[in-house]
Amino acid sequence: MNSLRPGAPLPRSPRWPARIASRLPSVSQTVKTLAFAALVAAGAWTAYRYAQRAETETIIERAARRLDVDESTLRGELTRYDYLPALLSLNPDIADLLRHPTDAALSARVNRYLADVTTDSQAAAIYVLDLRGTTLAASNWDQPISFVGQNFSYRPYFIDALHNGTGHFYGLGSTSRLPGYFYAARIGAGGRELGVVATKISLDSMEALWTRGDETVLVADANGVVFLSSFPGWKYRTLHPLSAAARARIDAKRQYGGPGALADIGLVPRRRLAANAEIDTVSPPNPLLANTPNPHAMDFVVVSRTVAGTDWRIMSLTDIAPARKNARYAALVTALGLSLATIGTLYVLQRRKVIAQRLAMRETLERMNDELERKVTRRTGALARANKSLRNEIAQHKRTEATLKATLEELVQAGKMALIGQMSAGITHELNQPLAALRTLSDNALLFLQRGRQDEAENNLRVIAGLIERMGKITAQLRRFSRKGPAELEPVAVERTLVNALFLVEPRLRKEDVEVVRDAGDGSSAHSDLVVLADANRLEQVLVNLFTNALDAMLGCPRRQLSIAVRADAADDAYVEIVVADTGAGIPETVRERLFEPFFTTKPPGAGLGLGLAICAGIMRELGGTLKANAAAAASGASFTLRLRRAPGDGVGELAKTDTNRAQRGAAEGE
């Protein structure tokens, strides 16, 4: 049991630094992650820069195209009325009015004429000024803001026209306070200048057009004052702070209303993009920013150009924020794309690695399999060879067994012949006696017949027949005993076999005066009907052998008794024991150890071969039984026990069959 004893040290956990280190990414992993992050960041940054540049270029290009259109439209608008002074100078009434400014009728005619031309040309106003700058006639003569009687000698367009022939000016109308473009031309020349014809043109429609676009479009004059703007909040404000002198000049011309209106927009140049384009920042407070959701500083792409024929600059301002947003999207998409591509590449590489590992593993497995197959083939070959040699050995064994069996049979037969040889003296005697008697009896019978003594002759013949029968019985018994053949297990009646065996030794028993005692001990013959599984002929041979040995042992003994006991085995009812005992000299211990050895004999040469008991033991083994020499008590003879299996059901039915078989065999042998 694994328990903690008090005072025992606590089980140690893995050391903390090692555990933390095992959870930290390895150096190579960190390097790879950093490289990956750097790659993604570089890619995103490049994409951002590229997209922003592309977006900016698109803005510049679009703004330039727009400015092309706007500038030419503006120029067209400005030059649209260039023809007017020449047209008006053709009217004699105007020259007359300049010569006779007080002629009211003439003045009224000129006023109407100017109003008609204004209506036709869609100009804002046309008016005629004398050399002192006083308006003599005007298209708006009948309106509250009539120019008639107004003096515009301070206006640059009048001064320029008077001195140079023509004059241009953009500014607020000093009477109407409405902005407009003033174009003036001198009438009369060569020292006979009469006055100046001026046209005021409204550029409101142009402004209205611009306000519909995305960009902020504005036109600034040489001082940087914005006088046209798609964003109204910037009108009459300056791109850069005005110098005091410039402001004084503007005020003198009353160009843009009273002092203080020309506040700075706060447009700060940040970066030049091209000759006519730059990025400017507008910082709060600014009316433009006040209208945007982002009241912080805004960057604009500013594209500008000079309006041909003037000192004005037309400018387009485009918020750069959407472009930056798009660039950010591009950067994001690039980063995502790069991440996906990197992850995809890593996945593919990992997958390849796994596949390569699998292939390597499969190759290893195949190699191992091949090796295994080779081993199995080798082993199978060895096994097949071993099997073959085993079969050969078995065949050899079978042959040996058959040879042994044949040899045993030969030996048994030889033993039998030896027994017959041993018994031959007695048997010969047994046959010779009746033969001699037969001779006498037959001679006497002949005599009796010759003498007519019929009855005595018949009596002799009957005795002769009895003798012949007895002789036949002996020879039949001998022939049956000597029969050669393999052992066949069958139910054998012990009693009958004993009787047959005793019959064969009968002459010796009688001659040597041996007493045969059956069932010694209780003296009964209760077991004489026992039937065993055996071969009758073989069992008979064993018994004859034992009887002969007993008779040999008792030769010269004063007491000669052959005891035969048949009984069921006390320990195992399935076996039957036949005990053959004699009153001979008995078997010394040294002899007993070697009793069953072949060629062991204590008998004088020629008396025994020493094979009898060895053959008997072999026969008993063949019959599935045993033969053993019993340890005899001192001063008593020898005793042998035969043990055989009992026939099933004591084989009564089988025994009948066996008898029939034997009878048939006897008949076949001419018994």
As measured in angstroms, the least distance from the Cβ of 610 to ligand ADP is 5
Helix axes 454-482, 321-450, angle to 10 degrees: 160
Choice between 236 and 600, CB closer to ligand ADP? 600
As measured in angstroms, the least distance from the Cβ of 413 to ligand ADP is 16
| Alpha carbons 521 and 563: distance in angstroms, whole number | 9
As measured in angstroms, the least distance from the Cβ of 498 to ligand ADP is 17
From 45-53, 115-123, 362-370, 603-611, span contacting ligand ADP (CB under 6 A):
603-611
Specify the DSSP class assigned to residue 224. -
| Selected binder of ligand ADP within 601, 626, 630, 641 (CB under 6 A) | 601
Q: Quick check: 612 binds ligand ADP (CB under 6 A)?
A: yes
Q: Quick check: 528 binds ligand ADP (CB under 6 A)?
A: no
As measured in angstroms, the least distance from the Cβ of 584 to ligand ADP is 5
| Alpha carbons 582 and 272: distance in angstroms, whole number | 149
As measured in angstroms, the least distance from the Cβ of 635 to ligand ADP is 13
| Selected binder of ligand ADP within 464, 576, 587, 642 (CB under 6 A) | 587
Choice between 433 and 602, CB closer to ligand ADP? 602
- 129 sits in the region (left: phi over 0; alpha: psi -120 to 50; else beta) called beta
| Selected binder of ligand ADP within 608, 618, 625, 651 (CB under 6 A) | 608
Contact residues for 377 (Cβ-Cβ < 8 A; gap 6+):
none
Choice between 93 and 582, CB closer to ligand ADP? 582
Of residues 613 through 652, those in contact with ligand ADP by CB under 6 A are: 613-614, 638
As measured in angstroms, the least distance from the Cβ of 414 to ligand ADP is 12
| Alpha carbons 522 and 575: distance in angstroms, whole number | 20
Choice between 40 and 554, CB closer to ligand ADP? 554
As measured in angstroms, the least distance from the Cβ of 412 to ligand ADP is 13
From 5-13, 125-133, 312-320, 585-593, span contacting ligand ADP (CB under 6 A):
585-593
Choice between 180 and 584, CB closer to ligand ADP? 584
**Looking at this protein, which amino acid is placed at residue 110?**
V
Q: Residue 218: enclosing H or E segment and its boundaries?
A: strand 216-220
In 3D space, the residue among 127, 189, 122 whose CA is nearest the CA of residue 162 turns out to be: 189
Q: Quick check: 610 binds ligand ADP (CB under 6 A)?
A: yes
As measured in angstroms, the least distance from the Cβ of 622 to ligand ADP is 17
Question: Token match 């676009």: residue?
Answer: 213
CB crowding 419-432: b at 16 or more within 10 Å, else e: beebbeebbeebbe
In 3D space, the residue among 663, 519, 525 whose CA is nearest the CA of residue 581 turns out to be: 519
Q: Quick check: 302 binds ligand ADP (CB under 6 A)?
A: no
As measured in angstroms, the least distance from the Cβ of 424 to ligand ADP is 15
Q: Are 517 and 561 in contact (CB under 8 A)?
A: yes
Over the window 541 to 580, marking each residue x when it contacts ligand ADP by CB under 6 A and - when it does not, the resulting string is: --------xx--x---------------------------
Structure tokens at 419: 């027994």
As measured in angstroms, the least distance from the Cβ of 552 to ligand ADP is 6
Contact residues for 515 (Cβ-Cβ < 8 A; gap 6+):
560, 561, 562
Q: Quick check: 595 binds ligand ADP (CB under 6 A)?
A: yes
Q: Residue 215: enclosing H or E segment and its boundaries?
A: none
| Alpha carbons 267 and 60: distance in angstroms, whole number | 18
As measured in angstroms, the least distance from the Cβ of 632 to ligand ADP is 9
As measured in angstroms, the least distance from the Cβ of 619 to ligand ADP is 13
253 three-class SS: helix
103 three-class SS: coil
Q: What is the DSSP string of 89-133?
A: HT-HHHHHHHH-TT-HHHHHHHHHHHHHHHHHHT-SEEEEEETTS
Which single residue brings its beta carbon nearest to ligand ADP? 608
Q: Quick check: 415 binds ligand ADP (CB under 6 A)?
A: no
C-alpha triplet 232, 235, 240: angle, nearest 5°: 130
As measured in angstroms, the least distance from the Cβ of 600 to ligand ADP is 6
Q: Quick check: 317 binds ligand ADP (CB under 6 A)?
A: no
| Alpha carbons 665 and 587: distance in angstroms, whole number | 39
| Selected binder of ligand ADP within 150, 602, 626, 641 (CB under 6 A) | 602
Q: Quick check: 58 binds ligand ADP (CB under 6 A)?
A: no
Q: Quick check: 171 binds ligand ADP (CB under 6 A)?
A: no
Q: Quick check: 609 binds ligand ADP (CB under 6 A)?
A: yes
Q: Are 640 and 579 in contact (CB under 8 A)?
A: yes
**Looking at this protein, which amino acid is placed at residue 503?**
F
Q: What is the DSSP string of 298-355?
A: EEEEEEEEEPTTSS-EEEEEEESHHHHHHHHHHHHHHHHHHHHHHHHHHHHHHHHHHH
Q: Quick check: 187 binds ligand ADP (CB under 6 A)?
A: no
Choice between 494 and 614, CB closer to ligand ADP? 614
| Selected binder of ligand ADP within 603, 624, 663, 664 (CB under 6 A) | 603
As measured in angstroms, the least distance from the Cβ of 593 to ligand ADP is 11
From 89-97, 163-171, 609-617, 656-664, span contacting ligand ADP (CB under 6 A):
609-617
Q: Which residues pair with 226 in a beta bridge?
A: 220
C-alpha triplet 265, 297, 212: angle, nearest 5°: 65
248 three-class SS: helix
| Alpha carbons 401 and 395: distance in angstroms, whole number | 9
| Alpha carbons 251 and 259: distance in angstroms, whole number | 7
546 three-class SS: helix
Q: Are 150 and 117 in contact (CB under 8 A)?
A: no
Structure tokens at 633: 């008590």
As measured in angstroms, the least distance from the Cβ of 530 to ligand ADP is 23
Choice between 237 and 560, CB closer to ligand ADP? 560
Choice between 165 and 610, CB closer to ligand ADP? 610
In 3D space, the residue among 97, 101, 95 whose CA is nearest the CA of residue 192 turns out to be: 95
Q: Quick check: 133 binds ligand ADP (CB under 6 A)?
A: no
From 58-66, 71-79, 282-290, 601-609, span contacting ligand ADP (CB under 6 A):
601-609
Choice between 261 and 632, CB closer to ligand ADP? 632
Choice between 380 and 636, CB closer to ligand ADP? 636
Contacts with ligand ADP: how many residues (CB under 6 A)?
A: 20
**DSSP collapsed to 3 states, 161-182:** HHHHCEEEEEEECCCCCCEEEE
Q: Quick check: 176 binds ligand ADP (CB under 6 A)?
A: no
Helix axes 204-211, 27-79, angle to 10 degrees: 160
| Selected binder of ligand ADP within 55, 70, 582, 622 (CB under 6 A) | 582
Q: Are 533 and 492 in contact (CB under 8 A)?
A: yes
Binding site residues, ligand ADP, CB under 6 A: 549-550, 553, 582, 584-585, 587, 591, 595, 600-603, 608-610, 612-614, 638
